[in-house]
């Protein structure tokens, strides 16, 4: 059975895609479409070349080549002019840095005060939003026929987490 799996690697430096041809084609075009309003818009295309007896291949796309270094992307796979698959991938190192800063604030807190409770509640909400977005992405990626409701859900939850983090930015952003 043919497959294609995108994942973010190397501390949000690359999107690594591995796959197997759906139609017996020697290559496919991957189109990355940004679904979130996180500092960019548009799309980016790349080619994955298949080889060997299973017609499998890999490609690494530099995140710096994408319209934005953060957000939810829908990746469409086209072989021989026909769309054969869609998957989602979320690049969220910006939000991870926010969570690090909030965690550092909590570790520095020496009392059980309202400030600490507020930081904890905010970190919990952001973490739950990211976790929920990952679940929506997993549901989208499991379906052979893509469900745009899951994509919209993931994008909305990423955007809300990003909005909550804008005032608590960490990691030199």
**In this predicted model, what pLDDT tens digit does every residue of 79-97 receive, in sequence order?**
999 999 999 999 999 999 9
Query: Does 172 have pLDDT greater than 60?
Result: no
Q: b/e for 68-101, b at 16 or more Cβ within 10 A?
A: bbbbbbbbbbbbeeeebbbbbbbbbbbbbbbbeb
Which secondary structure element, helix H or strand E, spans residue 32, and what is its range?
strand 27-34
Dist CA 68 CA 64 (whole Å): 7
- Two tokens at 130? 């990211």
Mean pLDDT score, 134-149: 85
- Two tokens at 100? 């690090």
Mean pLDDT score, 45-52: 92
Dist CA 166 CA 85 (whole Å): 34
Q: At what angle do helices 148-165 and 114-142 cross, to 10 degrees?
A: 160
Residues with Cβ < 8 Å from 156, sequence gap 6 or more?
none
Dist CA 57 CA 51 (whole Å): 6
The candidate with the shortest Cα–Cα distance to 87, out of 162, 172, 6, 173, is: 6
Mean pLDDT score, 11-28: 94
Q: What is the pLDDT of residue 123?
A: 92
Dist CA 31 CA 45 (whole Å): 4
The candidate with the shortest Cα–Cα distance to 36, out of 153, 134, 125, is: 153
Tens digit of pLDDT for each residue in 90-141? 999 999 999 998 888 888 887 767 768 888 899 999 999 999 999 999 999 9
- Two tokens at 123? 């970190």
Dist CA 115 CA 163 (whole Å): 20
Query: Does 72 have pLDDT greater than 70?
Result: yes
Q: What is the pLDDT of residue 105?
A: 84
- Per the CB < 8 A criterion, the answer to whether 71 and 36 are in contact is yes
Query: Does 75 have pLDDT greater than 50?
Result: yes
Taking the model in full, what pTM does it have?
0.89
């Amino acid at each position: 059975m043919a497959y294609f799996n995108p994942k973010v690697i190397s501390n949000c430096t690359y999107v690594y895609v591995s796959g197997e041809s759906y139609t017996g084609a020697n290559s496919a075009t991957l189109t990355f479409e940004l679904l979130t309003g996180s500092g960019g818009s548009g799309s980016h295309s790349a080619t994955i070349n298949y080889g060997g007896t299973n017609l499998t291949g890999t490609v690494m796309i530099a995140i710096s080549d994408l319209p934005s270094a953060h957000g939810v992307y829908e990746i469409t796979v086209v072989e021989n002019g026909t769309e054969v698959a869609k998957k989602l991938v979320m690049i969220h190192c910006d939000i991870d840095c926010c969570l690090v800063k909030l965690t550092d604030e909590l570790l520095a807190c020496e009392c059980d005060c309202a400030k600490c409770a507020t930081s904890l509640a905010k970190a919990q909400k952001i973490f739950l939003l990211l976790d929920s977005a990952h679940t929506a992405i997993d549901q989208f990626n499991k379906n052979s026929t893509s469900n745009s409701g899951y994509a919209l859900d993931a994008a909305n939850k990423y955007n809300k987490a990003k909005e909550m983090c804008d005032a608590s930015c960490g990691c030199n952003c």
